[in-house]
Chain A
């Protein structure tokens, strides 16, 4: 259900929104995890809404909070290196595999790197995915230095001249600065061989306002270039990703909506916004 459906239903056929309607809009925005701050901003812009063009105006208001940056994977001269990062359990490994699958089915040659050497069976998990989608996985031993695995993968990717290298990393909470420093090291080490073209932060759609802190600190540590919002097949609306776009100008690039390899798509803002409003 769209977050504004109730509001829009009330607004239809009215020339102005009465105070009760604002309450409904506020509730819907908050319930979608846009957070009190962004909600207040949107409400403020929405005060001038007139019933007739309410939908268009709302879409415009929301649009104005989205990032203007490109949502495409950025071009790389050589191998496109994508680093997948995020807090624990958001869907990094799954998304890395899904992205590899998407690129592969678009005709690119892709390699995966098992940069999570910490969590139990994380390497096996990515290898299982690699076998499933037919993409080779570069891995070291469990407990190996993640930067070393990433470095080996970069060298192998450069040698094989593949189009993309996607590096999975261990989940880490953004408030652990030693683990954040480790991520910075992975980045620097890879860049000795190949420039990193994308750092994608995976945000679970169920995440609340803490998502903003996650994005802020990951961006400081490794210069995040885009978001992947996962688990949109559930009941969560993932509004914190909009709050992140609005606050930090980091664009959502992909969405995950299921556990299968094809449950993944580039983010379409128009579709997303009209989905919010019209469903």
Chain B
């Protein structure tokens, strides 16, 4: 998983450094590595090949300077990064508002791409900015898509125009048309039209999308695409571009660990901007698109900004506050707390993924790989199979209780034993720590977490402290931005 391009390039360049000079065959080798990394990231083959040609050309042109320069690796990496950002962010822009409201936004994309959820997120995003959006239920195809949009609308506090029940009943074109009239009369300044998922090859449904488009003349048609999509991104994006047409792209499910190479393919082949990213199941998990983050992600390079955000989310939990309070009161650390800690940690998403976001994670490769993610899952299942009494006071855990727990968790008794041992060690250390007033780093590791990652909620105050630091900026706008970010 961590044989990312950065790791490879670091290897290539450290061997080069000892020779001092880069020649054109070195560049060829590097290009081969870049090629397989991009393919591994699902960038479309044609895009990969033209990208490699571009990099080769630029790198060769830079060669004279590279030979005299001290840091060739950095220079070539910069070339790659700059070109990626250029393609991803070249045409970045915001939504165009209509001169005469309502602004009409129409969503289109494959089945299961995440359109309905996105409709809710967009509605919330603009509602929070003072707009008055109306959601329009024009997916009358998928069973209960209308109900889903209604639930979503209710939870973000945005009304839903849904005159037809769906499940195959009603005409989506008419619904969109009527919505526009309704929105004008009720002075909504924006309508967001959710449509059924459709395949690029389905001409009948593509025609339906065209009919909806012609009926409401959207200011923006957004093509919604799953970040996990592979090489088909090319065919599908082209089919939608030639069919209904679109003005911008939204990437969804970016909270997963897909590298999202499709972003590069689509941006390159359509020349259209990626405008938003959708990154979670909550209706606030939504953001404008950052080309730099995407570039790092495609390169498997680490994304510090996202890491910081995710860590903050996970650590800002109620349970961490509770835990600190409890700790301060002098209550003992129980298995219950242990479980809560683990849960907070799992909320941070895949541990190895998070670690992989750190720049230079390549150097820690072995350590990261040795960290066994499923350990958390296993431990949790054991603790979850205990009764409240057992969690409070593991001393009651005799042989038959342990056997029952093992059975319930689908584990061996040895696994239960080893967890109890680990926990007792952790508890002991907690007690010592309270007496000495600090958290020994060894504790985190004794709980099966790699150094620097283990402290969990207990150290949340510490790890959040830098984020709360006073701004150094004298510029109020900049300071506000810092506080937000």
Min CB gap B41→A, angstroms: 7
Min CB gap A172→B, angstroms: 9
CB under 8 Å from chain B, chain A span 119-177: 119-122, 124-125, 128-129, 132, 173-177
Q: Is the Cβ of B347 less than 8 Å from the Cβ of A209? A: no
Kindly state the separation between the CA atoms of A33 and B39 in the bound complex, as whole angstroms: 9
Q: Which of B40, B226, B258, B374 contacts A89 (CB 8 A)?
A: B226
Q: Which of B110, B253, B410 contacts A88 (CB 8 A)?
A: B253
Q: Is the Cβ of B39 less than 8 Å from the Cβ of A35? A: yes
Give a binary string over A83-117; 1 marks a CB under 8 Å from any B CB, 0 the rest.
Answer: 00001111100000000000000000000000000
Give a binary string over B371-387; 1 marks a CB under 8 Å from any A CB, 0 the rest.
Answer: 00110110011001100
Closest to B257 in A: A175
Give a binary string over B110-124; 1 marks a CB under 8 Å from any A CB, 0 the rest.
Answer: 111110100000000
Is A46 engaged at the interface, CB distance under 8 Å to the other chain? no
Is A273 engaged at the interface, CB distance under 8 Å to the other chain? no
Interface size class of B (residues with CB under 8 A): 35 or more
Q: Which of B112, B143, B144, B281 contacts A91 (CB 8 A)?
A: B112
Give a binary string over B20-49; 1 marks a CB under 8 Å from any A CB, 0 the rest.
Answer: 000000000000000010011110010000
Kindly state the separation between the CA atoms of A231 and B201 in the bound complex, as whole angstroms: 11
Enumerate chain B residues within 8 angstroms of A173, measured Cβ to Cβ: 253, 255-257
Closest to A39 in B: B39
Enumerate chain A residues within 8 angstroms of B261, measured Cβ to Cβ: 208
Kindly state the separation between the CA atoms of A176 and B353 in the bound complex, as whole angstroms: 10
Q: Is the Cβ of A181 less than 8 Å from the Cβ of B45? A: no
Q: Is the Cβ of B148 less than 8 Å from the Cβ of A120? A: yes
Q: Is the Cβ of B381 less than 8 Å from the Cβ of A185? A: yes
Q: Is the Cβ of A121 less than 8 Å from the Cβ of B148? A: yes
Is B350 engaged at the interface, CB distance under 8 Å to the other chain? yes
Enumerate chain A residues within 8 angstroms of B381, measured Cβ to Cβ: 181, 184-185, 188
Is A275 engaged at the interface, CB distance under 8 Å to the other chain? no
Interface centre among A121, A180, A208 (most CB of B within 10 A): A208
Q: Is the Cβ of B40 less than 8 Å from the Cβ of A181? A: no
Interface centre among A118, A177, A231, A233 (most CB of B within 10 A): A177
Is A62 engaged at the interface, CB distance under 8 Å to the other chain? no
The stretch of B51-59, B232-240, B445-453 in contact with A is B232-240
Is A235 engaged at the interface, CB distance under 8 Å to the other chain? yes
Closest to A240 in B: B230
Is B69 engaged at the interface, CB distance under 8 Å to the other chain? no
Q: Is the Cβ of A208 less than 8 Å from the Cβ of B42? A: yes
Min CB gap A145→B, angstroms: 12
Give a binary string over B210-240; 1 marks a CB under 8 Å from any A CB, 0 the rest.
Answer: 0000000000000000101111110110010
Min CB gap A30→B, angstroms: 5
Closest to B232 in A: A236
Q: Which of B145, B201, B229, B236 contacts A207 (CB 8 A)?
A: B229
Min CB gap A190→B, angstroms: 12
Known interface pairs A30-B45, A121-B144, A128-B167; A177-B110 also in contact (CB < 8 Å):
no
Is B315 engaged at the interface, CB distance under 8 Å to the other chain? no
CB contacts between A and B, total, < 8 Å: 180
Min CB gap B5→A, angstroms: 12
Enumerate chain A residues within 8 angstroms of B143, measured Cβ to Cβ: 124-125, 128-129, 132
Kindly state the separation between the CA atoms of A122 and B143 in the bound complex, as whole angstroms: 9
Kindly state the separation between the CA atoms of A149 and B228 in the bound complex, as whole angstroms: 30
CB under 8 Å from chain A, chain B span 129-167: 141-145, 147-148, 150-152, 155, 167
Is B262 engaged at the interface, CB distance under 8 Å to the other chain? yes
Known interface pairs A206-B226, A208-B42; A87-B144 also in contact (CB < 8 Å):
no
Interface centre among B41, B147, B385 (most CB of A within 10 A): B147
CB under 8 Å from chain B, chain A span 201-236: 204-211, 213, 220-221, 231, 233-236
Q: Is the Cβ of A234 less than 8 Å from the Cβ of B408? A: no
Min CB gap B107→A, angstroms: 14
Known interface pairs A125-B144, A181-B380, A213-B257; A176-B226 also in contact (CB < 8 Å):
no
Is A27 engaged at the interface, CB distance under 8 Å to the other chain? yes
Enumerate chain B residues within 8 angstroms of A178, measured Cβ to Cβ: 343, 346-347
Give a binary string over B77-118; 1 marks a CB under 8 Å from any A CB, 0 the rest.
Answer: 000000000000000000000000000000000111110100
Interface centre among A35, A128, A181 (most CB of B within 10 A): A181
CB under 8 Å from chain B, chain A span 226-250: 231, 233-237, 239-240
Between A and B, 6 residue pairs with Cβ closer than 8 Å are: A89-B114, A121-B144, A176-B255, A180-B377, A206-B236, A210-B228
Q: A188-B385, A237-B232 are in contact. List 6 more A-B contacts (CB 8 A).
A: A132-B143, A177-B346, A188-B409, A208-B262, A231-B111, A234-B202
Binding site for A on B (CB under 8 A): 1, 36, 39-42, 45, 110-114, 116, 141-145, 147-148, 150-152, 155, 167, 199-202, 226, 228-233, 235-236, 239, 253, 255-259, 261-262, 281, 343, 346-347, 349-351, 353, 373-374, 376-377, 380-381, 384-385, 408-410
The 5 closest A-B pairs by CB, nearest first: A208-B230, A89-B112, A208-B42, A120-B151, A175-B350
